[in-house]
Amino acid sequence: MVDKLETVLKVKNNMGLHVRPASHIAKLLEGSHSKVTMTYKGESVNARSIMSIMILAAPKNAKIHISVEGKDARETMEVLAQAFETQFGEKKF
């Protein structure tokens, strides 16, 4: 069975989706079998591509539409949501 999930996640880290978060997202998706698309301001990109994510130029507080389609869509969406929540490992305590 193939699931398709969609949600909107907010960019919480101070510098937005720059190279480090883009790399983090691409690395997280290496083990996923799902197709993952990120959309911001009408521009949709493959979330496995660091350069594509950077093209979005999403700043802090941007709302990113995430679409995940595949047999492991739920797990993939959970991993992405956690990454956005923890600011891609950049959260300062």
Assess whether 65 carries a catalytic annotation: no
**Catalytic site residue from 18, 24, 33, 65:** 18
- Which residues make Cβ contacts (< 8 Å) with residue 47, sequence separation at least 6? 25, 26, 29, 36, 37, 38, 53, 66, 80
Cα separation, 10 vs 41, in Å, equals 13
Report the catalytic residues.
Answer: 18
